[in-house]
């Protein structure tokens, strides 16, 4: 796809539009421009939510104490799985969903 250059009429129209825009922008701000600093205020709920998000993002997804407990159970041969409970969980939360 190629972009064709502006023809004379289109170029004149664009130049006039830019000049008009600059003229209205200059007349809208007479004299010195006073700028106010930007500011943002957060509600208590937003601060609380940000704090909770930070705490959960820093927390580990792996419960090391539970992993150590299961490893110990497997190592000493006492680890067992309730097949009915496992089947219920599999039906309730199918893989891929």
* Contacts (Cβ under 8 Å, ≥6 apart) of 70: 79
| Domain coverage including residue 95 | 63-97
Residue 49 lies inside a defined structural domain of this protein = no
Residue 30 lies inside a defined structural domain of this protein = no
Residue 53 lies inside a defined structural domain of this protein = no
Residue 51 lies inside a defined structural domain of this protein = no
The mean per-residue pLDDT over the stretch 22-44 comes to 75
- Taking only the tens place, the pLDDT of each residue in 48-74 is 999 999 988 888 788 889 999 999 999
The whole-model pTM stands at 0.34
**Range in 21-25, 71-75, 77-81 with the lowest mean pLDDT:** 21-25
């Amino acid at each position: 796809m190629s972009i064709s250059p502006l023809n004379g009429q289109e170029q004149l129209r664009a130049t006039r539009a830019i000049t008009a825009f600059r003229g209205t922008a200059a007349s809208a701000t007479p004299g010195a421009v006073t700028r106010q600093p930007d500011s943002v205020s957060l509600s208590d709920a937003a601060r609380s939510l940000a704090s909770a998000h930070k705490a959960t993002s820093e927390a580990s997804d792996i419960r090391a104490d539970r992993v150590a407990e299961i490893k110990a159970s497997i190592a000493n041969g006492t680890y067992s799985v309730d097949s009915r409970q496992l089947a219920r969980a599999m039906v309730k939360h199918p893989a891929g969903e």
